[in-house]
Structure 1
Amino acid sequence: MAPARDRRTGFSRRRQYGVFVGYVLAIAGAVVGAALLVVSTFNPPAFAGARMGVAGLTAPVSSGLAWVVGGVAAVPEAIGTYFFVRQENVALRREREQTRALLMRARTIAYDNRRLRSLLKVRDRIAEPVVTARLVSSSASSGRRFALLNAGRWSGVRPGMAVRGPDGLVGRVVETGPNAARVMLLTDGDSIVPIRRTRDGLPAIAVGRGDGMLDVRSVNATNVKFNAGDLFVTSGVGGLYSPGIPVARVMTAGADSVMARTFANPDTFDFAVVEPGFMPVPPPRALAPSDNSAK
């Protein structure tokens, strides 16, 4: 069936109004276009002003539309960035933990190197050190203060020998085994060390308190004044400890007897140097044949 040639709008008013408005807009557009063409040809400044006026009216609308379009376009990018940043944060946290572990190892190694270098300097100052050994344990919580050294008679360690660390005197050997030795620390209640004050040579003795501290007491004098910060070293009296080994620092001022803290803390280092006695005890004298015959 051939299409109808009648293209009238029919009896629908909506359709009639739509067609009418379309014609009106088309005609109005044509008129406005013609007017603008005439103005742009014969009066360019007026056309430019009209064009800028229209641009001023449409600029906010264009800006708003651009903002909306940019926001909508940024949503996928924001989602992708979120997941990327999250993965990056996880990787950075993992890397931070690895770096922290390496930093702790580096600090530990540097600390050990400083202690070993200090101990090496101490060893170099000693004429003939017996042995350098490790302090494997110490009794820091009991009333008696002892430490265990992993070197004994096989290494030449004997009772009475002084034990010192990088910072100062640790104590003396009291018992020895084939490959171990027991060291009485300065802070033990039975430890007594002859000392002298560094600034004036005042003689004194350092007596262990059994609580990690020392009592510094004057010798053969009364009303002796001690100041906080006074430094004491071994005096060499008694023949066990060589002179000049750092022992303790006075904590509070006082007279005749004050409390002091040791320079060397066995809990803060691993290795120690065993040195021979300053004045070794001579070996027992062999009995003469006449003495044996007399018996």
Structure 2
Amino acid sequence: MFRRWWQRYGISLILVGVGLSVALFLRQTQGGAIQEFYGLLFNRQGNLTEAETEILLQNSKLRELQNRVEELEAQNLQLQNLLDYRQASMGEAIAAPVIGRSADAWWQQITIGQGSQAGIKIGDTVTGVGGLVGRVVQVTPRSSRVALVSDLNQQVGVMLSRSRFQGYLRGQNDPLQAEMIFYEKVPDVEVGDMVTTSNLSTLYAPGIPIGRIAAIDFNAGPAPSATVELTVPLGSLEWVLVSPFEAKPLNFELQPEQDVSQTP
């Protein structure tokens, strides 16, 4: 009977005994054995010489410096691309950094770090590498607010470079694409056509690139429409160019463009 009992409970008793012995040992030594074990294990890291510590600090500083150099190189590349674009297109445009976005209007507006002291005015055109970014709608001495072409409230007079068919672009609160609504019922449009600001635009100079036709819906009402892939990376803007522009009187014979300069 004892043998059967031992076979059933013996191993459990041994394990309990070992556990109690270990607990008693740790209590008497106050964890000294474990501390000593970890001390031996990590002794190399915890007892570096002064020279080794100095080397680690220098390596850390070098890594930090390398990261800063990489960031400066990236910023320099963006600025160089922007300057090349200005020389090729706008000439006298003012370069300005993007210094802010509103969390509740991320794809609608940006704040740039140039204002009236630099000569910027409400209505000025804002572009980036690739084409149109938007329009200045508010100015302070040292900063300006820009309504983006991706803003759902923005409407821009546009045309197709190939066929010269006209329409207007409507933002979709999307940094990658917008919608073009045609004036004609049967427009000459193809996927890949370049879309630019129109000569009929009242808010922008003509010929500024905006994007390319990505998809066409001839059955849309009340007029055919197309999806336009924007050529400016609105989601990663860091610098823009601001060019002076005097808005023309609205032509009410066509769909008027949306002026959001009074938007709070």
Q: TM-score range by the shorter chain?
A: 0.5 to 0.7
Preserved contact between residue 225 and residue 253 of structure 1 (Cα < 8 Å): no
Which of 216, 220, 245 is equivalent to 2:180? 216
Normalised to the residue count of structure 1, the TM-score between the two structures is 0.55
Which aligned pairs between 1:138-217 and structure 2 lie closer than 5 A?
138-139=101-102, 142=105, 145-212=108-175, 213-217=177-181
Give the 3-state SS of the residue equivalent to 2:158 in structure 1.
strand
The one-letter code of the counterpart of 1:223 is: V
Preserved contact between residue 163 and residue 189 of structure 2 (Cα < 8 Å): no
The one-letter code of the counterpart of 1:133 is: A
In the alignment, what sits opposite 2:24?
A: none
Q: Which has the higher helix share?
A: 1
1:172 Cα offset (Å):
0.1
Which of 212, 230, 244 is equivalent to 1:249? 212
Which of 264, 275, 281 is equivalent to 2:243? 275
Which aligned pairs between 1:38-187 and structure 2 lie closer than 5 A?
108-124=71-87, 125-129=89-93, 131-139=94-102, 142=105, 145-187=108-150
Instruction: Measure, in 2, the Cα distance between the counterparts of 1:204 and 1:272.
Output: 26
Relative contact order: is structure 1 or structure 2 higher (C-alpha 8 Å, sep ≥ 6)? Answer: 2
Judging changes above 3 Å, is the alpha-carbon distance between structure 1 residues 97 and 228 closer, same or farther for their aligned structure 2 residues?
farther
1:183 Cα offset (Å):
0.5
Which of 231, 251, 264 is equivalent to 2:194? 231
Alignment root-mean-square deviation, CA: 3.3
1:101 Cα offset (Å):
7.2
Give the 3-state SS of the residue equivalent to 1:240 in structure 2.
coil
Instruction: Measure, in 1, the Cα distance between the counterparts of 2:198 and 2:137.
Output: 20
1:248 Cα offset (Å):
1.6
Which of 223, 228, 239 is equivalent to 1:260? 228
Give the 3-state SS of the residue equivalent to 1:253 in structure 2.
strand
1:233 Cα offset (Å):
1.3
Instruction: Measure, in 1, the Cα distance between the counterparts of 2:127 and 2:86.
Output: 10
The one-letter code of the counterpart of 2:92 is: E
Instruction: Measure, in 1, the Cα distance between the counterparts of 2:95 and 2:232.
Output: 16
Among all aligned residue pairs of Structure 1 and Structure 2, give the percentage whose two residues are the same amino acid: 26
Instruction: Measure, in 2, the Cα distance between the counterparts of 1:248 and 1:190.
Output: 18
Give the 3-state SS of the residue equivalent to 2:86 in structure 1.
helix
Query: What are the superposed Cα offsets for residues 214-265 of structure 1, whole Å, 9 maximum, x if unpaired?
Result: 111112x103354332221112323432222211222223321122222112
Structure number with larger C-alpha Rg: 1
Instruction: Measure, in 2, the Cα distance between the counterparts of 1:276 and 1:258.
Output: 30
Instruction: Measure, in 1, the Cα distance between the counterparts of 2:75 and 2:117.
Output: 27
Preserved contact between residue 138 and residue 266 of structure 1 (Cα < 8 Å): no
The one-letter code of the counterpart of 1:215 is: E
In the alignment, what sits opposite 1:22?
A: none
Gaps of 5+ in 1: 1-93, 283-295
1:121 Cα offset (Å):
2.0
In the alignment, what sits opposite 1:57?
A: none
1:105 Cα offset (Å):
5.5
Instruction: Measure, in 1, the Cα distance between the counterparts of 2:182 and 2:236.
Output: 29
Instruction: Measure, in 2, the Cα distance between the counterparts of 1:238 and 1:274.
Output: 18
Give the 3-state SS of the residue equivalent to 2:215 in structure 1.
coil
Normalised to the residue count of structure 2, the TM-score between the two structures is 0.60
Give the 3-state SS of the residue equivalent to 1:251 in structure 2.
strand
Give the 3-state SS of the residue equivalent to 1:244 in structure 2.
coil
Gaps of 5+ in 2: 1-55, 219-223, 250-264
Preserved contact between residue 143 and residue 211 of structure 1 (Cα < 8 Å): no
